[in-house]
Amino acid sequence: MSKTTSIILILCIILVFTYISPLHAYACPLCFDASDDPIGLGAITGAQAFYSTLSSNRIETIKQDIINRYGHYSPQQWGENVDGVRTRIDTEDKIIALTFDACGQGGFSNGYDKQLIDFLIKHQIPATLFISGRWIGSNPSIFKELAQNPIFDIANHGYRHSPLSINGRSAYGIKGTTSIGEVVDEILLNEQKILNITGKKPRYFRSGTAFYDEVAVKIANELGYEVINYNVLGDAGATFTREQVRQATLSATSGSIILFHMNRPETDIADGIIDAIPELIKRGFRFVKLEEYHQKLAPRKPTVDNYFLHTVARGDSLWAIATRFGTTVQKIQNMNQLKTTVLNVGQRLQVPVKDPSLLVAPVEVNHRIARGDSLWRISNMYGANLNSIYQRNNLNQHSILQVGQRVIVPIEAIHVVSSGDTLWHISIRYGVSLQQIYQRNNLSPQSIIRIGQRIIVPPNPISW
Ligand SMILES: [Zn+2]
C-alpha cells in the first residue's frame, strides 16, 4: 500500500468514527434538535453550525445571548441560601433525597468512596450524584458505570467546581467564576461532558462550594437547571466524624435534601451513613431521586436574614422606614428588640428586606453558628474580612462561640462599572464615602474608571 493510500485510509477511518461517535449529535448541523435547545436558539445555531462545530458554537451563541440579557444585572446576594436555590422537598411524605457530591478539586477530592456506593447499590437506595467535570476527568470509567445504574441520577456539579459568581467572589478560599461567560461555561462545558458520555442532559445543578449569587442562579435556570442545595448538611464538607455523620443523617425529616460527599473514601462518611440508614428505614422513610419530586422542590424556610442597616435620620419614623423598605413596623421592632417606637437620630436599625431587588448591596449576612464553625471559617466562607467581623460583633480572636449564636458578617459589594457611572454615583448608591472607595480600590480623585471595571464597595455604610 502506498503512503498516500494509507493516509487516505486513515482519514476515512477518522471521518467514520467522528460521524458515529457521541460527538456526532453536537458536530452535525443536520442533527440539531430544537426540542433540546434550552433557550430557543435553534435557528441561529443551526445556521452558524456550518462554520464551526455545533458544540462550541452552540455554547458560544447561548453565552452571547445570556450576556446580552443579563449583562446589566448587579447581584445583591452571595451565599448558599440565595433566591432561586432549592433546598428541600415540600411534602409530608416520609421521603428523603440523598445527594452526593464528587468535587474533583484536586488531591483527596478526586477519590471514590466505593464502600459507600456499593452499600447504596446493594440495598437499592436511590440517590442523586452531583459530579464535576474535573472528577469525571479523573474517574472516567467509574463515572460511566454510575451513570448506567438506574438507581442513580447524574447531576451537574460544575466543570471546574467553582463557586457560581458573575463577578468573581470567592467561597472557602476557592475563587468563583468571574463573569457571566464563565458562569455559562461552568455549567455547559460540564453538561457537554456528561451528555457525551451518558446521552442525557442533567436537570439539576449545584456549584462547587454550593455558593451562588442570585443572578447566576437565574442563568442556571435559563440553561434548563434547577439549582439544588440542601437543608441537612450530612458531612460538613467531609469534616464530620462517623458519629456526627450518623446524627446529621438522622436529623432529616420529611422532604429533606441531605448533602454528602462521595469523593472522600479516607473519611468515615460511609460508616456514618451506613449506621443511620437502617434506622431511617425503621422510622418509615424511603429514599428518592430528586426527579421523583421535581414539582415539589422548594426553597429553604429562611434562616439567614438579609437586611439594610439603616441609620435613623432626622424626621424618620418606624412607619416611614417600614413603608420605604416594604416591611412592617412589627418586624423592625422584633428584629431590633425595640420596646418603643421612639427613635434617636443616628441610631442604627436592622430593616428586614422582603424583596431582595430592593437591596443595593448585600451589606451584611446574619449567620447562625453551627457546630464546628469558627470566625475564620465564616470569614473565609463569605469572603469577608475577619477584622470587620470582630469589630461588628464586639468579638476578638479569644472569643468563644456558642452553637446557635448569631454573628453579623459584613460583606463587601462588588460593583461592575456600567456606562455613565462615576465613583461619586457609586458612593451615593451604596451609601459609603468616596474616601472609602478610593482607599479600598487604590484609586484617587484623578483615577479614570472604565466600563466593566470591578469596584469593591466596603461594608459598614455611613448612612442609608
Ligand atoms: Zn463539591
Backbone angles phi, psi at 61, to 5 degrees: -65, -45
CA of 261 to the centre of ligand 1 (A): 8
Question: Regarding beta strands 95-102 and 127-131, do their DSSP bridges make them parallel or antiparallel, or are they unpaired?
Answer: parallel
Confirm whether 57 is domain-assigned: yes
CA of 173 to the centre of ligand 1 (A): 13
For residues 165 and 230, state if they share a domain. yes
Q: How far is CA 151 from the centre of its chain?
A: 25
CA of 203 to the centre of ligand 1 (A): 17
In angstroms, rounded to a whole number, what is the distance separating the alpha carbons of residues 236 and 372?
Answer: 9
In angstroms, rounded to a whole number, what is the distance separating the alpha carbons of residues 241 and 238?
Answer: 9
For residues 38 and 105, state if they share a domain. no
Confirm whether 113 is domain-assigned: yes
Question: Regarding beta strands 95-102 and 286-288, do their DSSP bridges make them parallel or antiparallel, or are they unpaired?
Answer: parallel
CA of 32 to the centre of ligand 1 (A): 32
CA of 207 to the centre of ligand 1 (A): 7
Give Cα separations from 236 to 172, 209, 242, 248, 372 (angstroms).
12, 11, 12, 9, 9
Confirm whether 6 is domain-assigned: no
Res. 111 pLDDT band, cuts 50 70 90? very high
CA of 349 to the centre of ligand 1 (A): 37
CA of 102 to the centre of ligand 1 (A): 6
In angstroms, rounded to a whole number, what is the distance separating the alpha carbons of residues 157 and 404?
Answer: 30
Span 1-44, pLDDT tens digits? 556 666 665 554 554 444 444 333 333 333 333 333 334 333 33
Domain stops at, among 298, 315, 332: 298
CA of 285 to the centre of ligand 1 (A): 26
Query: Which residues pair with residue 407 across a beta bridge?
Result: 367
> Is the model's pLDDT at 310 over the cut of 80?
no
CA of 118 to the centre of ligand 1 (A): 21
> Is the model's pLDDT at 54 over the cut of 50?
no
> Is the model's pLDDT at 458 over the cut of 70?
yes
Task: State the pLDDT at residue 237.
Answer: 83
For residues 217 and 246, state if they share a domain. yes
For residues 40 and 122, state if they share a domain. no
In angstroms, rounded to a whole number, what is the distance separating the alpha carbons of residues 80 and 367?
Answer: 11
Out of 209-223, 226-240, 270-284, 447-461, which region has the weakest mean confidence (pLDDT)?
447-461
- The mean per-residue pLDDT over the stretch 294-304 comes to 73
Confirm whether 191 is domain-assigned: yes
CA of 133 to the centre of ligand 1 (A): 11
CA of 439 to the centre of ligand 1 (A): 35
For residues 41 and 146, state if they share a domain. no
Confirm whether 337 is domain-assigned: no
Confirm whether 379 is domain-assigned: no
For residues 121 and 247, state if they share a domain. yes
CA of 131 to the centre of ligand 1 (A): 8
Task: State the pLDDT at residue 6.
Answer: 62
For residues 54 and 135, state if they share a domain. no
Confirm whether 366 is domain-assigned: no
Task: State the pLDDT at residue 301.
Answer: 55
Which 3-state string (H, E, C) describes the chain?
A: CCHHHHHHHHHHHHHHHHHHCCCHHHHCHHHCCHHHCCCCCHHHHHHHCCCCCHHHHHHHHHHHHHHHHHCCCCCCCCECCCCCCECEECCCCCEEEEEEEECCCCHHHHCCCHHHHHHHHHCCCCEEEEECHHHHHHCHHHHHHHHHCCCEEEEECCCCCCCECCCCCEECCEECCCCHHHHHHHHHHHHHHHHHHHCCCCCEECCHHHCECHHHHHHHHHCCCEEECCCEECCCCCCCCHHHHHHHHHCCCCCEEEEEECCCCCCCHHHHHHHHHHHHHHCCCEEECHHHHHHHEECCCCCCCEEEEEECCCCCCHHHHHHHCCCCHHHHHHHHCCCCCCCCCCCEEEEECCCHHHCCCCCEEEEECCCCCCHHHHHHHHCCCHHHHHHHHCCCCCCCCCCCCEEEEECCEEEECCCCCCHHHHHHHHCCCHHHHHHHHCCCCCCCCCCCCEEEECCCCCCC
CA of 33 to the centre of ligand 1 (A): 32
For residues 100 and 245, state if they share a domain. yes
For residues 54 and 108, state if they share a domain. no
Res. 70 pLDDT band, cuts 50 70 90? very high
> Is the model's pLDDT at 388 over the cut of 90?
no
Across the chain, mean pLDDT equals: 82
CA of 73 to the centre of ligand 1 (A): 27
Task: State the pLDDT at residue 266.
Answer: 94
Span 207-266, pLDDT tens digits? 999 999 999 999 999 999 999 999 899 998 888 899 999 999 999 999 999 999 999 999
Tracing cell 451562588 back to the chain, one arrives at 212
CA of 161 to the centre of ligand 1 (A): 6
CA of 87 to the centre of ligand 1 (A): 16
CATH number, position 449: 3.10.350.10
Kindly report the pTM of this predicted structure.
0.65
CA of 271 to the centre of ligand 1 (A): 20
CA of 117 to the centre of ligand 1 (A): 17
For residues 145 and 242, state if they share a domain. yes
C-alpha cell at 124: 437499592
For residues 122 and 66, state if they share a domain. no
Task: State the pLDDT at residue 4.
Answer: 60
Task: Decide which of 147 and 460 is more confident.
Answer: 147
CA of 20 to the centre of ligand 1 (A): 33
According to DSSP, residue 200 is labeled -
Task: State the pLDDT at residue 334.
Answer: 86
Domain stops at, among 266, 298, 330: 298
CATH number, position 111: 3.20.20.370
Tracing cell 448538611 back to the chain, one arrives at 233
Name the residue range of residue 448's domain.
413-457
> Is the model's pLDDT at 194 over the cut of 60?
yes
Closest CA to 456 of 176, 169, 50: 169
pLDDT winner (highest mean) among 279-288, 313-322, 418-427: 279-288
Task: State the pLDDT at residue 229.
Answer: 95
In angstroms, rounded to a whole number, what is the distance separating the alpha carbons of residues 393 and 385?
Answer: 13
Domain stops at, among 280, 298, 316: 298
In angstroms, rounded to a whole number, what is the distance separating the alpha carbons of residues 364 and 359?
Answer: 11
How many percent of the chain have pLDDT more than 70? 81
Task: Decide which of 78 and 130 is more confident.
Answer: 130
For residues 275 and 422, state if they share a domain. no
> Is the model's pLDDT at 281 over the cut of 80?
yes
C-alpha cell at 296: 415539589
Task: Decide which of 367 and 143 is more confident.
Answer: 143
CA of 198 to the centre of ligand 1 (A): 21
Confirm whether 390 is domain-assigned: no
- The mean per-residue pLDDT over the stretch 304-317 comes to 69
If one counts the domains in the chain, the total is 3
CA of 101 to the centre of ligand 1 (A): 5
